[in-house]
Amino acid sequence: MEFIKSAAQILSESKSTSSSPHNLLSFVEAANQIAACVYEYGTAWGREDGDLLSLSWSHRGLSGILINFLKLQMGWIYGSMTEDVLTGLTIQGRGWKSTNCTPTPPGFLGCAPSGGPATMTQQKRWATGLLEILVGRRSPLILTLRGKLQFRQCLGYLWILLWGLRSVPELCYATLPAYCIISGSRFLPKVGEPALSIPVAIFITYNLYTLFEYLRAGLSARAWWNNQRMWRITAMTAWLFGVFSVILKLLGLSETVFEVTQKEQPSTNGSDDDNADVGRFTFNESPIFIPATTVLLVNLTALVIAILGFWPAARGGDGWGIGEMIFSSCVVLCLWAFLKGLFGKGKYGIPLATVYKSGALALLFVNLSRWTSMG
């Protein structure tokens, strides 16, 4: 209430505001209460069924309307680390219509995490929360069959909730060109074959279309390229760990934990050192960086093998082609931040422990790839 009163005074440009120690102390106490979130304790906030629903269903008149009203007025729906998506899904599952509210000035603005570890933590939390909804009792499939969620809305929610599962095919496709080069096989048609035009056309069309979307939205080609790389990185790192978290939860081995990300304010001192490091990818000793580092080392090894021609084609095969080499180079370009991290120092360099673990996994992958080609 203290904040509401102070906001009303500011908006009305009232000069009767007081800055007495008593008022300042009350503001601090109100801020502590809001930050502690203790106002939710002992209430039905965040739950679909609270203690208010324990009222007896004795009459189907006013009491029934009251219970239904109370049941719908519970605020955010908890049970997932992405409670905003879960709340929207629950509302639309009841048949309600949603609208896009864009006030002026915009509300709920904040600073996104700028460093690599904080970004990975946030992406992991999102992937975990979305998958929790997908396998939970409020899944879009269940709400479509048993609720009032429309089929097109179900498809839209599934496209979002399946983000985390994209990590598995992303990891497979990122290592497929390297596997073909190392094993002396191919997955693309030869140059000159008509069938090669199909994957080439899909690749070019997709990238041109996404680039056109960015340009139409007023963004630059650099922003498009940076986001393309981050989609590859987050899919092979944060989303993959989000899938593991949900699997462990379903098996009853562990519970998901809400990890808070640090929001850093951009530097405003304008020094040359700070400006030179703006936008640089940072690392820490978290195992979340191991998969992408391993994929980078595997593709670098494959390119060295392709350039130097170390190993012949697999038995009965034609060997890898230029297509595999191009796609392997694309993977390295997408992981360019990790390539720079191999030679970086401090928080801009990949820790040696991560490099050693990734190197061991890359060596295992290379040996298994050669073993399958000789089998």
Does position 88 have pLDDT exceeding 90, yes or no? no
| Of 364, 361, 362, 357, the residue nearest 285 (C-alpha) | 357
| Per-residue buried b or exposed e for 242-274, using 16+ beta carbons within 10 Å of the residue's own CB | bbbbbeebeeeeeebeeeebeeeeeeeeeeeee
Q: What percent of the chain has pLDDT over 90?
A: 42
Give the model's pLDDT for residue 73.
46
**For residues 11-27, average pLDDT:** 58
Residue 220, SS3 per DSSP: coil
| Of 231, 241, 249, the residue nearest 337 (C-alpha) | 231
Interval 319-333: pLDDT, tens: 778 888 999 999 999
Does position 266 have pLDDT exceeding 90, yes or no? no
Question: Using CB atoms within 10 A of its CB, is residue 90 exposed (0-12), middle (13-18) or buried (19+)?
Answer: buried
Give the model's pLDDT for residue 63.
39
Which two tokens mark 20?
Answer: 């007495």
Phi, psi of 203 (to 5 degrees): -65, -45
Interval 193-244: pLDDT, tens: 888 899 899 999 999 999 999 999 999 999 999 999 999 999 999 999 999 9
Does position 254 have pLDDT exceeding 90, yes or no? no
Give the model's pLDDT for residue 50.
41
CA atoms of 333 and 339, how far apart (whole Å): 9
The secondary structure of 81-126 as a DSSP string is: S-HHHHHHHHHHHTT--------SSPSS--PPP-SHHHHHHHHHHH
CA atoms of 250 and 243, how far apart (whole Å): 11
Q: What percent of the chain has pLDDT over 70?
A: 74
Which two tokens mark 313?
Answer: 């084609």
Which two tokens mark 272?
Answer: 């040359």
pTM strictly above 0.85? no
Please tell me what DSSP assigns to residue 80.
S
Where is pLDDT greater, at 41 or 165?
165
If you average pLDDT over every residue of the chain, what do you get? 80
**Domain boundaries of the chain, sorted by first residue:** 165-259+283-374
